[in-house]
């Protein structure tokens, strides 16, 4: 693994910044967070839903265990694994059962079922006003799945990392899995194709070397904090992190 990243220390409530990153703590507490298409959403331990506006949590109506925002819009699932899409300031029920969704693909949706089966909803269905839709089975077993413009990434129950090849808006199931080096607890793909993840001990990583001709990239770069995290997501120049206790941090790259 590569360790070419300036050290940032988050210790004792103070934030020490070095070189190219600057972090701030956002008031509040979340259990899960997702950033995409210029927006940030999250849920707390009680299932309350929030958007982050001007570094402040703004509560959104509804009760969810997981929420995702991206080019496909704002989607979520509740504790009964029911699927919802946020439209006209309310949650619209969508057919199907999932325990994790991701709206970061090219206006298509992906998700993982309660048995770790993997599914996707093509672009023409995510943009439809229909509430009855048919999800496509992707194949394989994952616990977390996330997509961006250059492809989709996932991790299984053994924390092995996989890249899904030949994914497109209308052929969202792709063609085959390719295992990628390393082990992660969860992985998130940004709207611009950036890939970040955290491992089982809370270390944070960025995938470097991603290009149009090499969408898998070349190396995992460790983001060295003196704190551990349970969730990471990235959009529009900001890394969003949740500590093990649910504290929220926003880190931006400095020129």
Mean pLDDT on 64-82? 98
Q: How confident is the model at residue 129 (pLDDT cuts 50, 70, 90)?
A: confident
In a domain, 247, yes or no: yes
In a domain, 1, yes or no: no
**122 has pLDDT over 50:** yes
Please state, in angstroms and as integers, the Cα–Cα distance from residue 126 to each residue in 85, 86, 132, 151, following that order: 9, 12, 11, 18
In a domain, 64, yes or no: yes
Domain with residue 107: its CATH number is 2.130.10.30
In a domain, 213, yes or no: yes
Residues in Cβ contact with 219 at an 8 Å cutoff, skipping those fewer than 6 apart: 1, 2, 207, 208, 209
Q: Which structural domain, as residue segments, surrounds residue 244? A: 9-253
Q: How confident is the model at residue 225 (pLDDT cuts 50, 70, 90)?
A: confident
In a domain, 2, yes or no: no
**174 has pLDDT over 50:** yes
In a domain, 3, yes or no: no
pLDDT tens across 7-53, in order?
334 443 333 333 467 899 999 999 999 999 999 999 999 999 999 99
Short-list 201, 156, 148, CA closest to 180:
156
Residue 255, pLDDT score = 64
In a domain, 187, yes or no: yes
Mean pLDDT on 97-116? 97
Number of domains in the chain: 1
In a domain, 156, yes or no: yes
Please count the CA atoms within 13 angstroms of the CA of 102 that sit on its side-chain side.
29
């Amino acid at each position: 693994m590569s360790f070419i990243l300036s050290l940032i220390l988050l210790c004792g409530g103070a934030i020490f910044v070095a070189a190219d990153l600057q972090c701030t703590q956002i008031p509040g507490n979340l259990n899960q967070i997702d950033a995409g298409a210029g927006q940030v959403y999250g849920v707390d331990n009680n299932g309350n839903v929030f958007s982050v506006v001007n570094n402040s949590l703004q509560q959104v109506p509804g009760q969810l265990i997981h929420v995702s925002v991206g080019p496909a819009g704002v989607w979520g699932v509740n504790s009964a694994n029911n699927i919802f899409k946020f439209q006209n300031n309310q949650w619209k029920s969508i057919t199907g059962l999932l325990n994790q969704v991701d709206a970061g693909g090219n206006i298509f949706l992906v998700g993982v079922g309660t048995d770790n089966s993997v599914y996707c909803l093509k672009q023409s269905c995510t943009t439809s006003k229909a509430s009855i839709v048919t999800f496509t089975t992707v194949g394989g077993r994952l616990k977390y799945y996330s997509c961006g413009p250059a492809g989709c990434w996932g991790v299984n129950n053994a924390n092995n990392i996989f890249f899904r090849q030949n994914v497109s808006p209308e052929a969202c199931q792709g063609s085959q899995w390719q295992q990628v080096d390393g082990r992660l607890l969860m992985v998130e793909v940004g709207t611009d194709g950036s890939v970040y993840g955290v491992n089982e001990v809370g270390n944070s990583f960025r995938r470097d070397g991603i290009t149009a001709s090499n969408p898998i990239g070349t190396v995992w770069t460790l983001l060295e904090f003196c704190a551990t995290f349970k969730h990471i997501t990235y959009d529009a120049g900001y890394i969003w992190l949740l500590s093990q206790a649910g504290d929220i941090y926003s880190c931006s790259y400095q020129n």
